[in-house]
Amino acid sequence: MSHDTASPSEHVPSDIPAPKRKRHTPGRDLWELTKPGVTRMCAMTAAGAAWLALQSDDAPFPAETVADGWCSPGFAAGFAGVVGASLAVAAASAFNMWLERARDPLMARTKDRPLAARRMSSATGLGFAAALLLASVATLSLFTNPLTLLLTLWATVGYVLVYTPLKYRTPLALLIGAFPGAAPPLLGWTAVTGRLDLGGIALFLILLVWQMPHFLAIMLFRRQEYARAGIRCVSVVRGESAARVQAFLWSMLLLPISILPSVIGLTGPLYCALALLLSLGFLGWACTGLRAFGDRASEMRWARQFFFASLIYLPALIVGLVLDVVLR
């Protein structure tokens, strides 16, 4: 615990570049605690799943037309599910920053976080995280169902108390953390349907498998920072070649997983065709990472490009899901 009380400046090596200056306010710092980019992506996947559930036969009040989905009794539950899931993701992110406030100063991308930079007290950060979690619990308890609430608590506890400490001990933490990380679409689905079924599980599996190459790419171009912070990720423990091979294998698995919604009859041929096209393109990009690059600059360039490709892949897949329903 003594490491937690040390000043960040005592641990920051001189070769870490200073982050870009930006204007900090208490409100902005609280906002940064929620990891807005992560929360936004999770909200989008939860919303896509809730919308799809509203149009499916698994909804307790299935909509006959797309317009009916907005007015169906399940819409309020689906909306609350998205809000509650987003609040839970924000809470987990804030708890994560609180737990890692002593290690974040060791990495350039995290050294300017509010708790790491000592712009905010640890008590404020912990209290804000707890408030977000309570708001999530209240929202889900009042407007959704016990299953969605239980799954949300499972995902939050798994991310904060299991994944976060494990990533300093074993590369398997990435796979373990992918399970709570894939919860948002499942939460959006169960908020509407009130049960676990093939539709929700298919959407959960897509996000679960997508996370693996996505984060492996990050671990490749952030390898030195992760090593400095003591994170036992694949690229640090087993090497960069192993990380690129794993990214390729997970991208290969993503191909059949991505078309599961069409295989089980949840979506039609439009989504299936788009998912195949996107997944083949993503797999092809992963395949290029298996070649011998010859220099580190090319390796890092590929990792960054592959990371950005993963950021395009997932929203495009969600758009395909929605279009398939709208145009059916």
Phi-psi region of 59 (alpha: psi -120 to 50; beta: other; left: phi over 0): beta
Instruction: Check if the beta carbon of residue 314 is closer than 8 Å to that of residue 184.
Output: no
For residues 179 and 136, what is the distance between their CA atoms, to the nearest angstrom? 19
Q: Of 113, 103, 99, 98, give the one whose Cα is nearest residue 12.
A: 103
Taking the CA atoms of residue 130, residue 136, residue 138 and residue 142 in that order, the dihedral angle to the nearest 10 degrees is: -170
Q: What is the pLDDT of residue 328?
A: 75
- Looking at every residue in the chain, the average pLDDT score rounds to 88
* Residue 21's pLDDT band (cuts 50, 70, 90): low
- Structure confidence by residue, pLDDT tens digits, 168-213: 999 999 999 999 999 999 999 999 999 999 999 999 999 999 999 9
223 three-state secondary structure:
helix
Cβ neighbours of residue 213 closer than 8 Å, sequence gap 6 or more: 246, 247, 248, 250, 251, 254, 282, 286, 306, 310
Asked whether the predicted pLDDT for residue 58 surpasses 70, the reply is no
* Residue 10's pLDDT band (cuts 50, 70, 90): very low
* Residue 326's pLDDT band (cuts 50, 70, 90): confident
Q: What is the pLDDT of residue 306?
A: 96
Asked whether the predicted pLDDT for residue 149 surpasses 50, the reply is yes
Instruction: Check if the beta carbon of residue 95 is closer than 8 Å to that of residue 131.
Output: no
Q: What is the pLDDT of residue 62?
A: 53
- Structure confidence by residue, pLDDT tens digits, 292-315: 777 888 889 999 999 999 999 999
* Residue 272's pLDDT band (cuts 50, 70, 90): very high
Asked whether the predicted pLDDT for residue 11 surpasses 50, the reply is no
Is 279 buried (19+), middle (13-18) or exposed (0-12) by CB count in 10 A? buried
Is 24 buried (19+), middle (13-18) or exposed (0-12) by CB count in 10 A? middle
Q: What is the pLDDT of residue 13?
A: 40
Query: What percentage of the chain carries pLDDT values higher than 90?
Result: 76
What value does the mean pLDDT take over residues 234-246? Answer: 94
